[in-house]
Structure 1
Amino acid sequence: MSHSFKETPHNAITDSGIARVIPCKELDLGDPLKWLALGWRDIMRAPLLTAFYGVIFTAIPWLITYMVALTGWHLVILPSIVCFMLIGPFLAAGLYDVSWELEKGHSPSLWHSIKAIKRNAVNEWGLGILLLVLMIFWLRVASIIHALYPPYLEENLENLLPFLALGTVVGAGFTMLVFFISVFTQPILMERRVNLATAVLTSMNAVWVNKTPMMVWALIIASAVGIGFVTGFAAFIILMPLIGYATWHGYIDTIELKRERHYE
C-alpha cells in the first residue's frame, strides 16, 4: 500500500517569524482509520517489539497507581508524571522507528529502535520538558479549581457539578493545546532533525488546516486511553503501540514530503 500525494492547502503556513513551518496536505475524514489499519499491520509484522513497548506503556501507569495505593501518598503522582512526560517521547520514538524500518522494507530490531532516541536527543528532551511544563501548569490550575470549592458545602452532585464542569472545560482546553503542539512533533524531530520550534509549529499548522480529520484522530486517541483505564491499563499493551504506529503513518500522510514514499 502506498501513501498517495494529496493537495497541499494554499493556506498552509510555509514560514513564520519564529521558525520554518513544513507545509501539510489536506486530509480526508477517513484517513485516521487508514492510519489505524496500517498501524495494525505493523503490529502483525513486529509482534515481539510491539509486546515489549506495550508492556512498558502498561507498566508505567500501573506502577503509579500501585505506589499510590501502597503508600497512600498521593504526592508520588507528580514526580511519577514528571518522569513519564520526560521519557514518553523517547518511548514513542522507538515505536516510530519500528514503523519506519518496516516502511523501508527492513527488519526492525529492539536495539535499532532504542538507538532512535539519539537521533535528535536535545530537541526531544526539549519536547519532554515543554509537555512537562504544561502538565505542571495544568495541575496547578486543577488545584486552584479544587480550592475554590467551599468546604462547608455537602459533596453531592448538585454542588459539585459547577466545579466538575469548570474542570472539564479547562482540562479539555489543555488537552487540545497539547494535541496541537505534540501530535506530529516527535516524528518530525526524529526523521528530519529540525529544531523544536519548527516541529511544534508544523504540528500545529497541520492540525489547524485539517481540523475535522484531526479531531477524529484526537477522539480515537482519547477512546484508546479511556479503554486502557477501564481495563486496568491491560489494553495499553496493544493500544499504545497501535496509536504509536498509526501516528507515524499519519505523519507520513500529513506532512509534505520531498519525495513520494511507499509502504510495502
Structure 2
Amino acid sequence: MPASTSANKNHEFARCFESNKVAITAPFHWLALAFKDITHAPLLSLVYGLLFTLIPAAIMFFVYQSGTHLVILPAAVAFALIGPAFAAGLYDVAWELEKGHSPTLQHSLKSMFRNPAGEWGFAFLLMVVMIVWMRLAALIHALYPNVPDPTFEQLSAFLTLGTLVGGIIMVSVFAISAFAPQIMMERRVDIMTAVISSINAVKTNFAAMLVWGALIIILVILGFLTGTAGFIVIMPLLSYASWHAYIAVIKTKKPRGYE
C-alpha cells in the first residue's frame, strides 16, 4: 500500500516544484556562465547559432515582404516567445558541460525527444500563442491612422491597445516559459507541472526575473539590429543562460552534484 501511494505521488499531475530565491543580479551571473559554455563548446554553439538565425531571418523577410515597419515589434515579440521552446538542444549542451561531459550534436538532438509529449506539446502551445498574437497585431493595426503624418493624439488608441495586449501576452508567456522547457526536459513531467512550477518560480523571484526579461528583450532587439547575424551568438547565449537560471532557481530533493 505505501509503495502504491509513493508511485501515485511520483506521477501526480500538475504538481508545483519549489523554487529558490535568487538575487536581483543573478541574471548577469547566468550570462557569465553562458559565455563560458560557449567557449567550452564553440562548434556546437556555432551550429545551433546558425540554425536559430534562420528563424529571425525569416521574420525579417516577412517584414520586408509586408512593406511596413509596423510588424517589426509583434514579430520581435513573437520570436522572443517561441524561441525557448526550440532551445532543448542547447540546454542539453549546457547540462552536459555542467556534468563534466563532452557534449555532442547527436546527444543534444536526442534531448529534443526526452519528453516528446511535454516538449513538443509546449512548443505547439507557444506556436498557437504566436499565431494569435500576430492576428491580434493585424487587427490592432486597423486602428493606425490613415493619414500621412499622424499626431501622437491620433496614434494614442493604436499605441495604447497594442502596448496593453502585447504586454499581457508577453508577460504571461514569459512566466510559463521561463523554466517550463527545462523542467520537462530534465524531469520528464507533464506540461501542467512544468507550467505551474515556472509561474511559481517567476513570482517568487519577480525582481530577478524582471531583470532577466529585460536582458532578453535587449539582446533580441540587438539581434534584429544586426540584421539577425547577432543571433548566431545571442541564441546560444540566452539558451545556456536559461539553463543556468533553471539550475539556480528550481529546487531538487537531492543535490545534482554540480552548480
* Band the TM-score falls in, shorter-chain normalisation: 0.7 to 0.9
Question: Which of 215, 218, 224 is matched with 2:219 structurally?
Answer: 224
Kept in 2, the 8 Å contact 1:95–1:244? The answer is yes
Deviation at 1:86, TM superposition (A): 11
Structure 1 counterpart of 2:9? none
Instruction: Name the stretch that deviates more: 136-145 or 153-162.
Output: 153-162
Deviation at 1:136, TM superposition (A): 2.1
Q: How does 1:10-159 map to 2 (within 5 A)?
A: 19-66=14-61, 69=64, 88=83, 91-149=86-144, 151=146, 153-158=147-152, 159=154
Deviation at 1:89, TM superposition (A): 5.2
Deviation at 1:161, TM superposition (A): 3.5
Q: 1:150 to 1:41 in 2, by over 3 A?
A: closer
Q: 1:129 to 1:178 in 2, by over 3 A?
A: same
Kept in 2, the 8 Å contact 1:187–1:248? The answer is yes
Deviation at 1:128, TM superposition (A): 1.2
Q: Return the letter of the residue paired with 1:156.
A: P
Residue aligned with 1:175, SS = helix
Write the deviation string for residues 145-201 of structure 1: whole angstroms up to 9, x where unpaired. 2223464x5542422243123212221111111100101110000000000000000
TM-score (norm 1): 0.82
Taking every aligned residue pair, what percent have the same amino acid on both sides? 50
Residue aligned with 1:55, SS = helix
Deviation at 1:139, TM superposition (A): 2.1
Kept in 2, the 8 Å contact 1:142–1:167? The answer is yes
Q: 1:70 to 1:136 in 2, by over 3 A?
A: closer
Structure 2 counterpart of 1:9? none
Q: 1:207 to 1:89 in 2, by over 3 A?
A: closer
Q: 1:262 to 1:155 in 2, by over 3 A?
A: farther
Structure 1: where are the runs of 5+ without partners?
A: 1-16
Residue aligned with 2:87, SS = helix
Q: 1:187 to 1:125 in 2, by over 3 A?
A: same
Instruction: Output the CA distance in 2 between the equivalents of 1:112 and 1:255.
Output: 24
Structure 2 counterpart of 1:167? 162
Q: Return the letter of the residue paired with 1:177.
A: S
Q: How does 1:185-264 map to 2 (within 5 A)?
A: 185-263=180-258
More helix by share: 2
Instruction: Output the CA distance in 2 between the equivalents of 1:127 and 1:166.
Output: 27
Q: 1:250 to 1:89 in 2, by over 3 A?
A: closer
Residue aligned with 1:107, SS = coil
Aligned length: 242
Instruction: Output the CA distance in 2 between the equivalents of 1:146 and 1:239.
Output: 30
Structure 2 counterpart of 1:12? none
Instruction: Name the stretch that deviates more: 138-147 or 205-214.
Output: 138-147
Structure 2: where are the runs of 5+ without partners?
A: 1-11
Residue aligned with 1:105, SS = coil
Q: 1:90 to 1:138 in 2, by over 3 A?
A: closer
Deviation at 1:124, TM superposition (A): 1.0
